Amino acid sequence: MAAVDKDFAALQDERKRAEGVAADLQHAVFDQELYGGSTEGFAGYDRSIGLADTEEEMDEREQAVRSKMQSYTAPKSVIGDLPTEDGEDASGFKRPGRITDREDDYRRRRLQRMLSPSRNDAFAMGDKTPDSSVRTYADVMRDQQLAKERDNTMQNIADKLRKEEEERELDARPTKASGVQLPPPPAQPAAAAKSAAGEKRRNRWDQSNGVDAKKAKTSEWDAPEATPAVGRWDATPARPDEFGATPGRQGSRWDATPTPGRAGTEATPRRNRWDDATPTPGRVDGGATPGWAPGETPAVGATPAGKRGRSRWDETPAGVGMAGGATPMMGQTPMMGMTPAVTPMGGMDMPTPSPSSLPKVPLTAEQYQTMRMEREIEERNRFLSDEELDAMLPTEGYKVLEPPAGYAPIRTPARKLIGTPTPIGGTPLYHLPEEEHGQKFDVPVQLEGLPELKPEDHQYFGKLLKEVEDEQLTVEEMKERKIMKLLLKVKNGTPPQRKSALRQLTDKAREFGAGPLFNQILPLLMSPTLEDQERHLLVKVIDRILYKLDELVRPFVHKILVVIEPLLIDEDYYARVEGREIIANLSKAAGLATMIAAMRPDIDNIDEYVRNTTARAFSVVASALGIPALLPFLKAVCQSKKSWQARHTGIKIVQQIAILMGCAVLPHLKSMVDIIKHGLTDENQKVKTITALTVSALAEAASPYGIESFDDVLEPLWKGIRLLRGKVLAAFLKAIGCIIPLMDAMYASYYTKEVMVVLVREFQTPDEEMKKIVLKVVQQCVATEGVEPNYVRAEILPEFFRSFWVRRMALDRRNYRALVETTVELANKVGCADILGRIVEDLKDESEPYRRMVMETIDKVVRDLGTADVDARLEELLIDGILYAFQEQVSDDANVMLNGFGTVVNSLKMRAKPYLPQICGTIKWRLNNKSAKIRQQAADLIARIAVVMKACDEEKLLGHLGVVLYEYLGEEYPEVLGSILGALKSIVNVIGMTKMTPPIKDLLPRLTPILKNRHEKVQENCIDLVGRIADRGAEFVPAREWMRICFELLEMLKAHKKGIRRATVNTFGYIAKAIGPQDVLVTLLNNLKVQERQNRVCTTVAIAIVAETCSPFTVLPALMNEYKVPELNVQNGVLKALSFLFEYIGEMGKDYIYAVSPLLEDALMDRDLVHRQTAASVVQHMALGVAGLGCEDALTHLLNYVWPNIFETSPHVVNAVMGAVDGCRLALGPAIVLNYLLQGLFHPARKVREVYWRLYNNLYIGAQDALVACYPRLENDGINSFSRQELDIFI
């Protein structure tokens, strides 16, 4: 006992030590056996997005499943079935989740993009000059240019400021940037949050026409490093045309306001003294601007999340979609009175139909809370009034200074002017919300005939809540409401609602018009609270209406792209596919020119996210419209002199095309390589990198063809790997690694030797990315034909093992995988023994993950190559190491070790004999272990090596193990018990029933109670074992025992798993064969009376199997007798059993067909539909079985009974009857069936004709040629000649 305890203590220590290491490995190890399926799951992902591939992280749910499943160690079949069987919680259906919740920061950047205004459709216009209010391509490009310049300037200023900042000390916060001295800031939290985050946003004050003295303010939140933002607007040249569009996210939400709107508002009482200096955002509202419905800038409400954190500017209450994130900030300024008439906001009563101008809608509790929080914070951070200062500061010793001349304090933030929907209370304490009739808090709003509104839907669908008279609405408004209703149904409705709404939207798409539709759908899609399912549905809507709208979508192409592009980089495979489909359809609808015009400006967008998604979208366009169509454009872009971004994106497009289209790039390979090749010598590092990556993508896509296309890039690549370092080198190596496999053996060998120098040098690299690439390239190079084993052995192996076979590599899942793969590839070249010899010692390494990696490699290598070249010494080391590793493992996942063990022992075969006693000793010892896991592993190991033990004539040992296992059948852990049963099964399989110890007659009675166990693994293994015994060794067990088992088996028919039910049904057959069918049959027939359908179905199958194994004549009489029971279920069961029976026995059925005919006559005339249906399927199987065996008379008779049922409408009956008629066609010949049909083909009643033609078509498809001989004679009618004279020819 003490020894055991000590052993445990040691194990625990070991575990503790390993835990630190193993912590990440828990998830990291990806077991092929267990999760083979999930590995494949990554197959759809882009393998090479770029160097900075994000980790393929599993989501929490997957990890939960995994950690649950790690305790299982069972045959793959068991585990493979688990998720599908009890799917609710483990997997199967996804919980609905918000998309934003699972996105990473990068993907979330989609929310920062803006829906730019619709653009001019150059095609629709003809020769006219576009209206100035419409945005043309030129406008967009100009804006893009401006945005870029601005960004540059900002960058410069930021740099400069940072430099100055460093020089000065912290107190030098207010800086001058362009000569304007900034006043020390009164609190102005406006842009603070954003500038702190370093966002490049255009600010809202930069638009003063010709006003030079701009007052920029910083708030107390402006951290020093954020000051650059201050300078930004000073530096921005005030250009009138800047007001134009605001493509990209850098536009603030007010940018979209065109100036004209100002005139109207200028005179309103909202003006205060700062209006001169800073045009207020309030003006936005005034803007009833042509062509620019505020709907164009829905980003207001839609852009909260984002990575810039939740500034209170973003937190827009639902009701004020338009108000530019106006939050109450009363504490903001001491002079509340200064801005008295803040109210009626333009947006609220302007007739601009857009989702953003909405009626006031009750806030959700959450929003309310947030607002209060904000108010409170602002209250505490407000600036102090004179009185307060007086009260606080001592009167003596201080002097009140005069403000400098010309200083006008800015007290009210511009946004103050915007109406705030929240009640403005003076205190941040509890606030009693003002009462308002019709305002419901926290009560889900329900509209008649519409699905429920979620809180976050209010900002989009709030309008529907307002009761309005239809007469008061304009046509446009009616249309808008209609669309809104339909969309709401699609988004939140039940499936039937959704379906009809979708159909209506599709049918009326052109009627509604592209504008109104997209203006509502697209903002919805930008909503940060959108869920996967909702997005799917909305995307579906877009897809459908795209077809309908066709060329009308042109002005909206860019908007749609902004919304759809993020789908292309979604982590969900189906979302990516969906995105591709939409973009493909869009490009087919809008045409290449429009697509290019829409996307061209984004190609050199300053935001990498925009460029990335645009590149992907372009690749989809290329695949939709053909690569050649896009080539000229790509060529131009890739050679752009203006910006490296354009070149980068252009090349990236080529890369994405290669990834997306695979070998379809081959016809254009040469031209694509030509387009990008200059990028390898570009001065910009990023361009170089992407070019190399593109080359590798092209090579991968073209593999194994197309080496001649890469001739031009070989030289620059070659020079590159000698000169470059770091990331670029990694990319270049990757490119070469992908090209080498395309080469002839001779060249491949030469180039491999060349590149190997660099590779070996880079073996040492600390960079993870580089490591992976180096491993990959080694793998690719070694796999090529021309590389000699000796060269590999001498030049690569020593360095390779020294640098890579270290413990650290086992800790990262991707490294682990790459290393194992590469090593296996090396082994394929140099042979098994070389590699095993190098790593076998490591099986005794002290790090478990490392041991596991070694084991997996050995497993794979041995499986591929066998152990023929392993000498005695190595063999000994191997077994020794494996035993050590097997015994020392503590982690949950035992499969790698088990597999490795099994593979090696099985491959050694006879040579394993000397080690078997030792192995069995270990197993026996471990079967006795306290830990359930260890017992389970031991039993699993027996299952794997039983075959080898038999091959080595160790039957005695096997028998001994059998006895040991038998003694452990009292095991209480189901997992372990399952494994023990599995082990017993494999022993029985190899040594046979007669030699089995314990004898079968002792073993089986022990198994009977275990059949009651409800655990699936136990059930499956147990039923397999019992079935095996029933099949081979039934005579060892008394019949009474078998009957007892029969009763237990009935219970097993309820099992969830199909495998178990199937094994059970088969076991019935074996048992019936062993003890005669009568008793078994009685049991089964009684079981037909049970209510549960699955149970009855399984019983009928079992009856059929019994009939098959024991000949039908033993079963049929009892079965037909049972039909007399006047009970629906029983009779149906009998018919079903007959149906299965005739299906199984095939042509044996010809002897029984006359016997069952009366029964079938009765069934086919029964009132019950199911009777007739099942009887029809009996006829079908019978007919198919006896075709050509001379039973035509009986079948014709039965067909006469079947025939009237052709007019049934229930689909199952229709199917069964069709089947019966088809079966008869085969057995009776088509002529007879045709004669039946001719009666009704031209029947006056259409309903009759329809049915007959359907049958005729079936007949025709089945026996077209044979029918030629039996068509009726048709007479000529004078005009047409219908007769087939040639058939009258007679010699």
Q: Which residues bind other proteins (CB under 8 A)?
A: 1169, 1209-1212, 1214-1215, 1218, 1241-1242, 1246, 1249-1250, 1253-1254, 1256-1258, 1260-1261, 1264-1265, 1267-1268, 1271, 1274, 1279-1282, 1284, 1286-1287, 1289-1291
* Residue closer to other proteins, measured from CB, 1000 or 1255: 1255
Least distance from C-beta 1170 to other proteins, angstroms? 10
Q: What's the rounded Cα separation, in Å, for the pair 773 and 737?
A: 9
Least distance from C-beta 1272 to other proteins, angstroms? 9
Residue type at 1169 in one-letter notation = L
Least distance from C-beta 1280 to other proteins, angstroms? 4
Q: What's the rounded Cα separation, in Å, for the pair 835 and 857?
A: 9
- The encoded tokens of residue 839 equal 């790593």
Please provide the distance, in angstroms rounded to a whole number, between the alpha carbons at the two ends of the chain.
Answer: 104
Burial class (CB in 10 A: 0-12, 13-18, 19+), 608: middle
* Residue closer to other proteins, measured from CB, 313 or 1256: 1256
* Residue closer to other proteins, measured from CB, 872 or 1245: 1245
Least distance from C-beta 1162 to other proteins, angstroms? 22
DSSP track, 222-291: --GGGTHHHHHHHHS---GGGGS---STTS-TTTT--THHHHHHHTSTT--GGGGTS--THHHHH---TT
Least distance from C-beta 1268 to other proteins, angstroms? 4
Least distance from C-beta 360 to other proteins, angstroms? 42
Q: What's the rounded Cα separation, in Å, for the pair 1199 and 1259?
A: 15
DSSP 189: -
* Residue closer to other proteins, measured from CB, 368 or 1207: 1207
Burial class (CB in 10 A: 0-12, 13-18, 19+), 386: exposed
Least distance from C-beta 1235 to other proteins, angstroms? 15
For residue 644, which of 156, 148, 163 has the smallest C-alpha distance?
148
Alpha helices, DSSP H, located in 952-1057: 955-967, 974-995, 1000-1010, 1016-1033, 1039-1052
Q: What's the rounded Cα separation, in Å, for the pair 1010 and 1019?
A: 8
For residue 328, which of 300, 359, 370, 286 has the smallest C-alpha distance?
370
* Residue closer to other proteins, measured from CB, 563 or 1170: 1170
| 331 contact partners, CB below 8 Å, separation of at least 6 | 375, 378, 379, 380, 381, 382, 428
Alpha helices, DSSP H, located in 626-744: 627-638, 644-661, 669-676, 685-702, 711-723, 726-739
Least distance from C-beta 1202 to other proteins, angstroms? 18
* Residue closer to other proteins, measured from CB, 641 or 1093: 1093
Helix (H, G, I), strand (E, B) or coil at 135: strand
> Do 353 and 293 meet the contact criterion of CB atoms below 8 Å apart?
yes
Least distance from C-beta 1245 to other proteins, angstroms? 10
Query: How remote is the C-alpha of 627 from its chain's centroid?
Result: 28
* Residue closer to other proteins, measured from CB, 441 or 1271: 1271
* Residue closer to other proteins, measured from CB, 3 or 1279: 1279
C-alpha to C-alpha distances, 629 to 634, 679, 882, nearest whole angstrom: 10, 22, 59
* Residue closer to other proteins, measured from CB, 627 or 1224: 1224
* Residue closer to other proteins, measured from CB, 1154 or 1242: 1242
* Residue closer to other proteins, measured from CB, 1089 or 1243: 1243
* Residue closer to other proteins, measured from CB, 170 or 1291: 1291
For residue 617, which of 649, 647, 639, 644 has the smallest C-alpha distance?
649
Least distance from C-beta 854 to other proteins, angstroms? 55
- The CA-based angle 1066-1070-1072, given to 5 degrees, is 110
Least distance from C-beta 1167 to other proteins, angstroms? 14
Q: What's the rounded Cα separation, in Å, for the pair 1025 and 1007?
A: 9
Least distance from C-beta 751 to other proteins, angstroms? 52
Least distance from C-beta 1289 to other proteins, angstroms? 4
Helix (H, G, I), strand (E, B) or coil at 98: strand
* Residue closer to other proteins, measured from CB, 395 or 1285: 1285
Least distance from C-beta 941 to other proteins, angstroms? 51
> Do 1096 and 1087 meet the contact criterion of CB atoms below 8 Å apart?
yes
* Residue closer to other proteins, measured from CB, 474 or 1235: 1235
* Residue closer to other proteins, measured from CB, 786 or 1240: 1240
Number of residues that this document lists for the chain: 1291
Q: What's the rounded Cα separation, in Å, for the pair 967 and 61?
A: 39
> Do 248 and 114 meet the contact criterion of CB atoms below 8 Å apart?
yes
Q: What's the rounded Cα separation, in Å, for the pair 28 and 993?
A: 44
* Residue closer to other proteins, measured from CB, 560 or 1170: 1170
Least distance from C-beta 1277 to other proteins, angstroms? 8
Bridge partners, 119 (sequence order):
135
Residue type at 884 in one-letter notation = Y
Bridge partners, 98 (sequence order):
531
For residue 882, which of 902, 910, 867 has the smallest C-alpha distance?
902
Least distance from C-beta 341 to other proteins, angstroms? 59
